[in-house]
Chain A
Amino acid sequence: MAPDHRADATDTALLQRPAALGRPVFGPRLVTALSLAGLLALWWIAAIVADSRVLPAPPAVAEAFWRDAATGELFFHLAMTLMRVIAAFVLAMAIGSVIGIVLGMNREANRFFDPWLILFLNIPALVVIVLAYIWFGLNEAAAIGAIAVNKIPNVVVTMREGARTLDRDLEEMASVYRFSAGRTLRHVVLPQLQPYFAAASRTGISLIWKIALVVELLGRSNGVGFQINLYFQLFDVAAILAYTLAFVAVMLTIEFLLVQPFEAHSTRWRPRRAGS
């Protein structure tokens, strides 16, 4: 995804290249559009061939989308799910990063807590959700907490790996030049952890929203998960797909408008590799 916007520059590079070599027939954006159109066409054809209620064609899904969008219901449920996803994401990244960095920098602590980590990594999401509802009641805090707890072990593992690779040389430099703890964290430690943080958030955000739907299905009276359960009982596949695609669209928007620009900003110091 990343080198897409740089392909044009390569094409006009001063280097004289054989025209047939490496020059794409279509622009990268066009390829993406064609690929998505192909998937849509495949779905459409399959729906026509199957001619069944369980596989509605795209227009039926669009219709379901407009029906719930017109009443505002769709946006309300999207917003509820998004709120839970964001709250759980912030919670999981904050707690997971702190634990991960501490474990990565402290060998004794890591040796002691590693079995706990493996245990938590292997507890199924469903079990955490059910136990959270039983122990803390069918409320918002239990729902968000359950989503976060499912994600925290993954964040810990990634951030621990990052903390283990911290550069000793830079740490020594900071100590010789008497950087305060805050200055060391902000200018020396966190920039080194940035790629790990980005990796953890990437995998985190997709995992979290999938778990959020289960949480809503089991114990909330709103949100995309709740709606999908409702339409499952009504056997309305078009509405199920409409909600799913709408939320995927929301997540893609976040990716393109927030995650990618943030990443580009925080890695601006990296020398651009020539020709890529």
Chain B
Amino acid sequence: MSNLSKPIPPAGDQDALEVEIRGKTFRGADGDAVRAIDEIAFSVAPGSFATLIGPSGCGKTTTLRIILGLDREFDGRLKLPAGGGRIAAVFQEPRLLPWRTVEENVRLALSDEDTGRDLDDLFAVLGLAEMRSRYPGELSLGLARRAALARAFAIRPSLLVLDEPFVSLDEQTASRLRTLLTDVWSARPTTALMVTHNLREAVQLSDRIIFLTERPARMRGVYDITTPRADRDARWREATLPALAKRYSGVL
């Protein structure tokens, strides 16, 4: 909590993210109980990037909300990296405060002793240098998502959680944003967990892909990628995707 101004410890010193949910039930609008998650358990190694993938409505977002502490009613246990250090979230909607500028939005997330910190590099890397004094209402969705990424990385989190951060963007913008995320994340490595239903995206970004079944979610399998991100070119992707799609039918 208070170690934000210190450099991020090397990956080996951190704990892994361990998630074990043995049941999560919602009360639906009609009062009936809906079982969202049956049983899922996975871990994310310190400083690595993992992706949760599964059909729409299978409980991926619910899993993220449990990890973020926004939903505390579930059976199971949770172990967060670095003994409960700060968690950053990039939500599906950018969730910026419309009445604060981009820079104010980012700075408000910083802890008190950090508010004056130099953020020039971060804004520059994300291509937001010119946008710092704009209000979110003046930004396109792609730029607003970048501002949300800036806020997430600004707090130097020990865990970064992303909920479909590229959804409803055109392919060109989405792909540029994916590259940006890879760049920022590589320069500021932190344990990251992303939810998506896009296998290409998962394959491009992740060290580990966790496949979930339809609701109520169960584990379908875990796939680790050891190929360095730099070597994941189009040819590699074309070879990997069909193999994965064959093993986990219906994910592509």
Contact = CB atoms under 8 A, between A and B. Distances in A.
B102 to A, nearest CB: 11
Contacts of B99: 191, 269
Contacts of B95: 169-170, 172-173
Contacts of B91: 169, 172-173
Given A169-B95, A183-B108, A269 B100 contact: yes
Given A173-B89, A173-B91, A177-B155, A269 B108 contact: no
Contacts of B98: 269-270
B97 A188 contact: yes
B39 interface: no
Contact of B87 (A170, A172, A176, A179): A176
Interface string B80-104: 0000001111010101011110000
Contacts of A187: 97, 100, 108
Interface residues of B, number: 22
B18 to A, nearest CB: 19
Contact of B97 (A170, A172, A175, A271): A170
B93 A178 contact: no
Nearest to A270: B137
B225 interface: no
A179 B97 CA distance: 13
Contacts of B86: 178
B207 to A, nearest CB: 24
A270 B135 CA distance: 8
Contact of A178 (B97, B111, B151): B111
B70 A175 contact: yes
A189 to B, nearest CB: 11
A163 to B, nearest CB: 17
Contacts, number: 47
- Among A170, A173, A188, A269, max chain B CB count under 10 A is at A173
A177 B89 CA distance: 8
Q: Is the interface of B mostly helix, strand, loop or mixed?
A: loop
Interface in B96-121: 97-100, 108-109, 111
- Among B86, B91, B95, max chain A CB count under 10 A is at B95
A175 B65 CA distance: 12
A173 B108 CA distance: 11
B70 A271 contact: no
A172 B138 CA distance: 23
Contacts of B174: none
A270 B109 CA distance: 22
Nearest to B135: A269
B10 interface: no
Given A169-B91, A269-B135, A271-B138, A177 B97 contact: no
A269 B70 contact: no
Given A169-B91, A187-B100, A176 B155 contact: no
Interface in B165-214: none
A188 B86 CA distance: 20
- Among A169, A172, A175, A188, max chain B CB count under 10 A is at A172
A170 B91 CA distance: 10
B69 interface: yes
A177 B135 contact: no
A169 B151 CA distance: 16
B62 to A, nearest CB: 13
A179 B108 contact: yes
A45 B87 CA distance: 74
A269 B155 CA distance: 25
A271 B99 CA distance: 10
Interface of A: 169-170, 172-173, 175-179, 183, 187-188, 191, 269-271
Given A172-B95, A176-B87, A177-B88, 18 more contacts: A170-B95, A170-B97, A172-B68, A173-B91, A173-B95, A175-B70, A177-B108, A177-B151, A187-B97, A187-B100, A187-B108, A188-B97, A269-B99, A269-B135, A270-B98, A270-B137, A271-B135, A271-B138
27 contacts: A169-B91, A169-B93, A169-B95, A170-B95, A172-B68, A173-B91, A173-B95, A176-B68, A176-B69, A176-B87, A176-B89, A177-B88, A177-B89, A177-B108, A177-B109, A177-B151, A177-B155, A178-B86, A178-B111, A179-B109, A187-B97, A187-B100, A187-B108, A191-B97, A269-B137, A270-B137, A271-B137
4 shortest interchain CB distances as A-B pairs: A271-B137, A177-B109, A191-B99, A173-B95
